[in-house]
């Protein structure tokens, strides 16, 4: 069966919030966002990561993932190690999501960890990152 995040075009499994996202549809259960197209879900991941760096001062892989997947809901240490393995950094390695290559790598690692698959092309993720930058 296709994972919920992929089915709902929300590959980061972003929870529904007070402010609707671009491309967001009403959520059937009010829990997780549902997007009209996957590019909007990928864009939302990029926007969240950029905001983590800008406003929450996330600078390392550990910083980002601890904010993305808090230990109260996840095996955060395992998540950090999985992301590090995919992007080639150590947990305390500096990550700059204003660097498009690092942003794309981080999004791909998050999508894979959240869904068990990463079905999106680099070009689609790059498009989503570009869309996220335009909105900043």
**Distance (Å, whole) CA 37 – CA 10:** 9
pLDDT tens digit sequence for 7-33: 999 999 999 988 899 999 998 887 999
The residue assigned the tokens 């790059």 is 126
Question: 0.95 exceeded by the pTM?
Answer: yes
Tokens at 125, concatenated: 């993720």
Buried b (16+ CB within 10 A) or exposed e, 67-106: bbbeeeeeebeebbbbbbebbebeeeeebebeeeebbbbb
Does residue 135 surpass a pLDDT of 80? no
pLDDT tens digit sequence for 92-122: 999 999 999 999 999 999 999 999 999 999 9
If one counts every other C-beta atom within 10 angstroms of the C-beta of residue 112, the result is 16
């Amino acid at each position: 069966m296709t994972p919920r995040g992929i089915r709902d075009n929300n590959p980061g499994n972003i929870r529904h919030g007070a402010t609707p996202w671009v491309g967001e549809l009403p959520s059937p259960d009010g829990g997780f966002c549902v997007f009209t197209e996957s590019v909007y879900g990928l864009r939302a991941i990029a926007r969240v990561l950029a905001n983590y760096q800008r406003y929450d001062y996330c600078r390392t892989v550990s910083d980002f993932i601890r904010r993305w997947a808090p230990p109260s809901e996840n095996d955060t240490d395992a998540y950090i190690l999985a992301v590090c393995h995919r992007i080639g950094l150590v947990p305390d390695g500096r990550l700059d999501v204003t660097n498009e290559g690092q942003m794309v790598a981080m999004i791909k690692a998050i999508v894979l960890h959240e869904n068990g698959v990463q079905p999106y092309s680099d070009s689609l993720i790059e498009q989503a990152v570009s869309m996220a930058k335009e909105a900043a």
